[in-house]
Structure 1
Amino acid sequence: MPVRRTLRVVRRYWRVFLRRLRVFLAPARRQWRRSLQLRVVAITLVASSLLVGAFGWLVAYRSADILLDRAQDEVLSQGRNKRAVAQEQLSVHVSAVDATLSRTLNETINLLADGDPSASSGAVVSIQSSHFATIRPVISANLDTAELITPEMVQEVGGNSAEATQIRTARVDGVETKFLVYGTPVPTNFGHLELYYLVPLTTEDQAANEIRATVLATGAALVLLLGVVAALVTRMVVTPVRVAARTAQRLSAGLLDQRMKVSGEDDLALLAASFNQMAANLQRQIVRLEEMSRLQRRFTSDVSHELRTPLTTVRMAADLIFSEREEFDPAVARSAELLQAELDRFESLLTDLLEISRFDAGFAALDAEHADVTPIVERVAEGLAGLAERVGVTVELRLPESPVIAEIDPRRVERVLRNLVGNAVEHAEGRPVLVTVASDDAAVAITVRDHGVGLKPGEERLVFNRFWRADPSRARQTGGTGLGLSISVEDARLHGGWLEAWGAPGEGSQFRLTLPVRAGDRLVAAPLPLIPRDRELPPSEPAEVTR
């Protein structure tokens, strides 16, 4: 148990550490994602550091090897010369117990040391014997050679009578010094002795250190230079891109006269010129489309207004004929009824066109007041009761018991609900239509559910387009203008609300109107789901459509 508790504590502190580390590194990560120049410079610095570091290590390593090989060749040459001199000096003795042998060894060591150009730099010569106990080691300097002349080397030189070299380190006057030790046998009349030539590698080490320092300084300067060059080159490329991005943002904000500065004849200048040409073409196209849209809106508004006067005259004549239709023969009476119905349809179309033109011109205003939504829903249901009875559809209301008060424009909300419930009744295929109202502290939602033919995938977005119909050949009972849902979605937006649709083939459809309780508030969620609760959602289908 204590081990598990300790592991839990460790894991908890580790998670806390990782969380704080992510928070601490968040600004750097954000800057890394946003700055192309930073990424290019950082990658250049890392790559060049690795490359220069590997090259510098190779140069320093090879330089040290070359210096060491040169010192070793020189030591071998001098060591063999010293062996020849020692052999000549010792050739006068025929026995290891000769009384003058010790003096000859000292004279030989002095001769070898005096004739050594490296002696001033600390080179040491030693003659000793591993075969004759009477011969004591003779050294040209006061140096403890126990750490430098190892037993393995003594065995190689004295036992095997072979040359040997090695690099050893010893403390001389309190300083760690590296020596190149060369050992060779010296043949004499009474056997052979061992000559050891010890040369300090201080000069070579200093030269190698200087080479490393030079390579390091040069590499660091080269890396910094590469970083500066990368920053300058990247700046030359990134700056026009940033200017293009800012210009594109201004263009998207509606400032169509924004252009990039063109300087030079290189690729970046070509990019700026192409961008400016594209912006000019877009400006011309947008201005042309805006002019066409303005002319279209003006034409629609003018035609709608101009048709009011002749329509009123025709309406008066048609009303007179319709009121006297019983005195006509059946064919003329039927024509009078058709004339009256088409005039009603034409008048409804003109009314919708005028409303659409007001939305397009930006003249639509919200006359908001605190009102109860429930009576509005009931009035819509009562107004469409006749149509529902003719097509054999039942309109069911699910209303809360308490009033649903919201700051709305009752006329516009009633028009939206009339369009939604009318369409649901028309497409219900004789099945019930369910209208549900719910609210919370921030929003009011009204759903209209039918169980008709439904909508195909993608049609939930097209259904709000002007003059769009799911089935143009479908016989319609109400003779709608095709503008009802377009006006409804504009009314919802004017409230700051949502009007959304859901549908599936053979499963019917559902429309949801969501309005804020207080005018001007921003909606976050709806009290009712867009997808009906009586329909099981497949795993791959999204929960809501784009508003």
Structure 2
Amino acid sequence: MRAPAWLPEPVRRVLRVVRRGWRVVAHRLERYSAPVRRSWRRSLQVRVVTLTLVASSLLVGTFGWFIADRSANILLDRAQDEVSASLQRKVLWASDQLGVHPQAYDPEISATILETVNELSDGDQAGDSDTVVSLRAEQFPEIRPTTVGPVGTDDLITKSMIGTVASDARVARQIRTVHVNGHATKYLVYGSPVQTKFGHVELYYAVPLTTEDRAANQIRTTVLVTGLALVVLLGVVAGLVTRLVVTPVRVAARTAQRLSAGLLDQRMKVDGEDDLALLAAAFNQMAANLQRQIVRLEEMSRLQRRFTSDVSHELRTPLTTVRMAADLIFSEREEFDPAVARSAELLQAELDRFEGLLTDLLEISRFDAGFAALDSEHTDLVPVVERVAERLTGLAERVGVELELHLPESPVIAEVDARRVERVVRNLVGNAVEHGEARPVQITMAADDAAVAITVRDHGIGLKPGEERLVFNRFWRADPSRARQTGGTGLGLSISAEDARLHGGWLEAWGAPGEGAQFRLTLPIRAGDRLVAAPLPLIPRDRTAEVS
């Protein structure tokens, strides 16, 4: 966010510096906190222990504060009761001592006051040398204040307290903190009027709360240490308890990962008869059932592949014999009756289709068995595409489809199996011609440093939503009711997808009802490289222009 233009330049400069500094600090905080955030997201144990520590800290802290505060209040109340009781005795004794003087200007009253204060200080049951006793007579200026103690009364006795005791003749109490010998000391100060024959004077009694403060600090320290120990103990207990629960879950996760990787004999260890043991037993039972099902399915798949391969091979021998006889009949068809000659042509066409189906079945069997291998070599793909287009030109002319080639003028060299690439392009172009609805079919090629892409675009019936994934299924057809021009087997796109995967490439489809379809073959320039992007878009450019 930019600084407003109306601000002075120095202010804007400072704001820019602050903004840059904030970005640097935020970046460093994000970088340093990344391991913590990662642990928080990935570890259930970390979350449970952290939440337990936070909750227990709040609970123990609140309880500890309540205990410490309540203990301090109890100590203070006890000290107040003791000082109040002692003050009452001192007031009575001082009243008796001063009662012998009928007037405030009696010459002997100063000596009596001094003797009384000394006696009150020496007779203090607390026995604390820091106790302060003071007698004042605010209403009688001729009587000088007398104080015994380690500190003066200026810091202990405030004006408001003097007003309450001297003017209102009421008992006052306050807590004051003063420095005694360089140390801050808290005092509990009481003030009370003392009745005499000539009026009343004021007795102030201040007792240090050193013992009570020390006891309160010890209580706070004890509560703090105990609370910290309790929080740590709760964290350890939470960690141990969570570990008991999380460890079997982690073992289950690792076992599940090994099962998904194909290690079907992996099992969890069952200890005891609790819920976790029940979970482990149920998991092992599930793994055993999955293993049996997978083994059974693999056996069925193996038998199916073997059956397909065996049938395909076994049909080769009678097919060869039938082919020889059919070729002989086909070559002599001109001497036959027209109906018989037509039957010979149909026989020849169906034998071609049957032979193609057997070839495709054998190829599919090799893919299923994992025996398919690439014969890669550096090949110029431009002539490969041109050769496919040339061979399908006759079929395209018969159905009224024009093949449009958009190929690079320079060679496109890639490390591929030329036979398999040619088969993929032939299948794509053949399907486009068949579904082209007598409209042009564009074949486009482009390449970059990492990949080469070939797209085949038709403007026929197109594909419905979701069919772009189904077109590569075996024996799947978009419209089974349509009459086929090429006599396909329904396995062409499946074999093409396997050929693309064998190269480490992609074979993808796009289509829209009534707008045609486009298939894109993407192959790496160098065998074994990983594809990241394709040089050509999957959605046709004309379609993109219409949408935009």
TM-score, normalization: structure 2?
0.96
**CA deviation after TM superposition for structure 1 residue 98, in Å:** 0.7
Name the counterpart of 1:482: 490
Corresponding position: 1:92 with 2:100? yes
Structure 1 stretch displaced more, 116-125 or 287-296: 116-125
AA partner of residue 186 (structure 1): V
Paired residues of 2:130 and 2:150 also in contact (CA < 8 A):
no
Instruction: Specify the SS of the correspondent of 2:542.
Output: coil
**CA deviation after TM superposition for structure 1 residue 84, in Å:** 1.3
Corresponding position: 1:182 with 2:190? yes
Name the counterpart of 2:436: 428
1:251-330 maps to which residues of 2 (within 5 A)? 251-330=259-338
What do the CA deviations read for 1:16-63 (whole angstroms, capped 9, x no partner)?
222122222222222222222122111111111111111111111111
Name the counterpart of 1:415: 423
Q: Matched residues in 1 for 2:220 and 2:28: separation?
A: 40
Paired residues of 1:121 and 1:200 also in contact (CA < 8 A):
no
State the Cα RMSD in Å: 1.5
- Of 430, 437, 454, the residue aligned with 1:446 is 454
**CA deviation after TM superposition for structure 1 residue 83, in Å:** 1.1
1:393-412 maps to which residues of 2 (within 5 A)? 393-412=401-420
Paired residues of 2:462 and 2:515 also in contact (CA < 8 A):
yes
Name the counterpart of 1:385: 393
Name the counterpart of 2:169: 161
Corresponding position: 1:525 with 2:540? no
Name the counterpart of 2:89: 81
Paired residues of 1:301 and 1:353 also in contact (CA < 8 A):
yes
Structure 1 stretch displaced more, 157-166 or 471-480: 471-480
Name the counterpart of 1:34: 42
Corresponding position: 1:366 with 2:366? no
Paired residues of 2:424 and 2:496 also in contact (CA < 8 A):
yes
Paired residues of 2:150 and 2:180 also in contact (CA < 8 A):
no
**CA deviation after TM superposition for structure 1 residue 142, in Å:** 4.1
Q: Matched residues in 2 for 1:249 and 1:141: separation?
A: 82
**CA deviation after TM superposition for structure 1 residue 102, in Å:** 1.4
- Of 469, 472, 477, the residue aligned with 1:469 is 477
Paired residues of 1:456 and 1:504 also in contact (CA < 8 A):
yes
- Of 104, 107, 129, the residue aligned with 2:137 is 129
What do the CA deviations read for 1:306-330 (whole angstroms, capped 9, x no partner)?
0001111111222222223333333
Name the counterpart of 2:5: none
Q: Matched residues in 2 for 1:516 and 1:176: separation?
A: 83
Name the counterpart of 2:348: 340
What do the CA deviations read for 1:178-233 (whole angstroms, capped 9, x no partner)?
00111111111111100111111111101110110010010000001001101100
**CA deviation after TM superposition for structure 1 residue 130, in Å:** 0.7
1:241-252 maps to which residues of 2 (within 5 A)? 241-252=249-260
- Of 344, 353, 358, the residue aligned with 1:350 is 358
Paired residues of 2:475 and 2:489 also in contact (CA < 8 A):
yes
**CA deviation after TM superposition for structure 1 residue 458, in Å:** 1.4
Flag as ranges the 4+ runs of structure 1 deviating above 4 A.
Answer: 537-540
Q: Matched residues in 2 for 1:312 and 1:463: separation?
A: 32
Name the counterpart of 1:196: 204
Q: Matched residues in 2 for 1:537 and 1:6: separation?
A: 49
Where do 5+ consecutive residues of structure 2 fail to align? 1-8
Instruction: Specify the SS of the correspondent of 2:457.
Output: strand
Corresponding position: 1:3 with 2:11? yes
Name the counterpart of 2:228: 220
Corresponding position: 1:109 with 2:129? no
TM-score, normalization: structure 1?
0.96
% of aligned pairs identical?
76
Q: Matched residues in 2 for 1:142 and 1:392: separation?
A: 122
Q: Matched residues in 1 for 2:18 and 2:148: separation?
A: 65
Name the counterpart of 1:501: 509
Paired residues of 2:131 and 2:150 also in contact (CA < 8 A):
no
Instruction: Specify the SS of the correspondent of 2:543.
Output: coil
AA partner of residue 80 (structure 2): Q
What do the CA deviations read for 1:486-537 (whole angstroms, capped 9, x no partner)?
1111111111211111111222111111111122222221111111111128
Q: Matched residues in 1 for 2:546 and 2:233: separation?
A: 60
**CA deviation after TM superposition for structure 1 residue 539, in Å:** 8.6
Structure 1 stretch displaced more, 111-120 or 295-304: 111-120
Q: Matched residues in 2 for 1:539 and 1:56: separation?
A: 69
Where do 5+ consecutive residues of structure 1 fail to align? 541-547
Corresponding position: 1:19 with 2:7? no
1:35-54 maps to which residues of 2 (within 5 A)? 35-54=43-62
- Of 119, 123, 126, the residue aligned with 1:118 is 126
AA partner of residue 304 (structure 1): S
Instruction: Specify the SS of the correspondent of 2:289.
Output: helix
What do the CA deviations read for 1:322-367 (whole angstroms, capped 9, x no partner)?
2233333333332222222211111110000001111111111111
What do the CA deviations read for 1:347-392 (whole angstroms, capped 9, x no partner)?
1100000011111111111111222111111111111111111111
**CA deviation after TM superposition for structure 1 residue 538, in Å:** 9.3
**CA deviation after TM superposition for structure 1 residue 401, in Å:** 0.9
AA partner of residue 4 (structure 1): R
AA partner of residue 179 (structure 1): Y
